[in-house]
Amino acid sequence: MKLRPNKENEPIEIDLSAKQINFQKNKTFYQCTRCANFVSPKMELIIDWHNAQAHDDLSPGFKPVKGTAVSLTTLRYAANYEPRLTI
């Protein structure tokens, strides 16, 4: 599965039995320290996108986290399907 396919397209594995997300490619990621509910291997995604969406563009806070697994507390999944045109 890909995490945020339109923004970072990060390959991940979701392990529901262990309640965690495993990053497949990166061994360091960044976590928002304002809410601790957003992680990304791309620091700029927290600063530029998440902080605006979730925290009204207040000063961003984040910390680097080493490892490949993140604890999963809430899972929101959205599948976007592009309509097919038939001519």
Give the nearer residue to Zn ion in terms of CB position, either 24 or 33: 33
Residue from 1, 18, 35, 52 in contact with Zn ion (CB under 5 A): 35
Contact criterion met (CB below 8 Å) for 71 and 20: yes
Which stretch, 9-17, 36-44, 62-70, 71-79, contacts Zn ion (CB under 5 A)? 36-44
Amino acid at 12: I
Compute the distance between CA of residue 6 and CA of residue 17 in angstroms, rounded to an integer: 27
Which stretch, 1-9, 11-19, 30-38, 64-72, contacts Zn ion (CB under 5 A)? 30-38
DSSP 44-60: HIIIIIIHHHHHTTPPP
Q: Which residues bind Zn ion (CB under 5 A)?
A: 32, 34-35, 38, 54
